[in-house]
A = this chain, B = another copy of it.
Amino acid sequence: MTNDPTPPNQTPEDASERMDIRTIARLANVSIATVSRTINRVSTVNPKMAKRVWEVIEKLDFVPNTQARALVSGRSKLFGLLISEITNPFFPELIQGFEEIAVEHGYEILISSTNHDPKRMSHCIRRMLERKVEGVAIMTFGIEEPLLEQLAKRKVPLVFIDVGPDRPGISVLKVDYHHGIRQAVQHLAALGHRRIAFVSGPKLLHSAQSRLAAYTKSMHECGIVPDPGWIVEGDHTLEGGVAAMGQLLAQDDLATAVLCSNDMTAIGVLHKLYRTGLRVPDDISVIGFDDIHIAEVTIPPLTTIQMSRFEIAKAAFDALQSQVESPNQLIGKREFNISTSLIVRESTSYPRGTMEHLRKKST
């Protein structure tokens, strides 16, 4: 099978064995270098020859081998994308943006989910190293330092979201959680809410900490001292939201509004409330975070804080690309700002009793 000549009954078109740059060169009567140059659109090639080469390429339907290209050029044209769990709609939306931009620029992406498991993360990083990624976007909202070493040691450009070690070759996307969260708290306070609960994300996540801190700060700004009982830990999943709302419900003095660390949590909260027979927003207001697509059609439509996936994807890609393609300029940490802002829909309203109170007043 190795070196049998093309069987006589095969037309040259489907002689699919050994289709390489050399074959093209022979058929187009040029050298392999010319073929390579043509494919890579080097401007110095004689248009006549180029045309001949392209014709042969099209006729044979030749596709260059990326592995060989990568091996010799040292450019894999591959970026790693590390996420925590593909199952949270936030991430697919982010992936979509990242992939779009990457492909547009001739890059491929290698996606890995860590599922919050450090062991898995270590595997993911190893695999990325083996495939020689040129950079990796770490969108897990938190990473163990030792694992990071693997990448840093090899000088792989990195971009983090939120949390980022301050080193050359590392960019970080600074999300302005406070802006959106303050808007949310103010929105609630303006409506008359004082007892505003917060369902946080897993406390080991930096982003979760930042969101919590933004909540606390915003509450103080509104002159409210948050009761520790109002803060309960979720885990950014549907089930976590259900459980967290359960905890809140078990308390004597029920909050009149619940701010959630992400939309999945909020959807869980909505569900638990539905199960309990409490109406949103009549009995209690709920606010999410992320503004995933589905938040528009929850029942009721979710008031939430938007954080643009596209903005993040774009910034992450740009950070990586600039590190790779012009490593000399701008060495050192680069920061990108990501904004957040409140989207008011229908899961927020006056605290229970306010309407009656107002009505009485006006009568």
Interface residues of A (CB under 8 A from B): 14, 16, 61, 63-68, 70-71, 76, 86-87, 89, 91-93, 95-96, 99, 103, 108, 110-113, 123, 126-127, 129-132, 150, 153-155, 238, 242, 267-268, 270-271, 274, 293-294, 296-301
Chain B residues with CB under 8 Å of A274's CB are: 299-300
Q: How far is the CA of A132 from the CA of B154 in the complex (A)?
A: 26
| B86:A96 contact, CB within 8 angstroms | yes
Decide: A123 near B110, CB < 8 A? Known: A271-B297, A274-B299.
Answer: no
Contacts of A268 in B (CB 8 A): 297
In the complex, which residues of chain B have a beta carbon less than 8 angstroms from the beta carbon of A67?
A: 67, 70-71, 76, 131-132
Also in contact, A87 and B93, with CB within 8 A (given A70-B67, A294-B238): yes
Copies of this polypeptide in the complex: 2
CA distance A235 to B126 in the complex (A): 40
Query: Bound state CA distance, A68 and B130, in angstroms?
Result: 10
Residues of B within 8 A of A93 (CB): 87
How many Å lie between the Cα of A99 and that of B153 in the bound state?
27
Q: Which of A130, A238, A270, A297 has the most CB of B within 10 A?
A: A297
Contact B16 A155 (CB under 8 A): yes
A90: min CB distance to chain B, Å: 11
A16-B154, A87-B92, A113-B96 are contacts. A66–B294 as well, Cβ < 8 Å?
A: no
Say whether A294 contacts B294, CB under 8 Å. yes
Question: Is B127's CB under 8 angstroms from A103's CB?
Answer: yes
Q: Do the beta carbons of A92 and B96 come within 8 Å of each other?
A: no
16 contacting pairs across A/B (C-beta < 8 A): A16-B153, A63-B130, A64-B130, A65-B132, A67-B131, A68-B71, A86-B92, A86-B96, A86-B99, A87-B89, A87-B93, A87-B293, A89-B89, A99-B111, A271-B297, A274-B299
CB nearest neighbor in B for A155: B16
A131 pairs with B297, CB closer than 8 A = no
